[in-house]
Amino acid sequence: MLLTAVQLFNEKGFNATSLDDVAARLNITKPIIYRHFSNKDQILFECVRMGLDQVREATAAVAGSPGTGLDRLAALLHRYAEIMTMDFGICVIRTRDHELRPESRSRFRKLKTEIDATICEIIEEGIADGSIDARNVRLTAFAATCTLDGIARWNDPAGPNSPEEIADFFVNFILRGIAPRLSSWTA
């Protein structure tokens, strides 16, 4: 049910999608949806929560992994980029805060803040071990995640590039900007 709902939200937008649309696509009646969810807001929140949980699982997987901070950040950003090509990840980015009710909005923001904090911690670890050259941890984290969030806005799943190709390209692009330089470049 959630997969169908998220696909419709991504195709038509949350406000333009009705529970009648979801029921019709599933070939069920709307009361069946109400057995599982109290309203459309709850469905939307569950969809974005699932996308954020995928990112949280990726952050947890790299948090204690071996390697440098740059190695852990690269692994996390790669998975993050792949998630941005998937239905629930796309929904996270395409959902505007104001589309959620206040209690859902607060939970949504809390989950996003938790992810941002973990990314900042990994960047700090990389700065400490010398594998990341960044002067502002928070701006570095935002630059990386905003770049990857954009994938959810323009990527066509039927397009010519696989999620892995997209992730490889964007993560390499980001890492070139924060990897330490062996010598300074001059023009």
Domains located in the chain, CATH noted = 49-178 (1.10.357.10)
First-to-last CA distance in the chain?
A: 57
pLDDT in tens, 110-156: 999 999 999 999 999 999 999 999 999 999 999 999 999 999 999 98
Coil, helix or strand at residue 156: coil
CB contact at 8 A, 95 and 48: yes
| 2 Cβ contact list (under 8 Å, min separation 6) | 43, 46, 47, 50
Of the CA atoms within 13 Å of residue 74, those in its CB half-sphere come to 18
**What is the reported pLDDT for 182?**
54
Give the predicted TM-score (pTM) of the model.
0.88
**What is the reported pLDDT for 97?**
81
Alpha-helical regions (H) of 40-68: 40-63
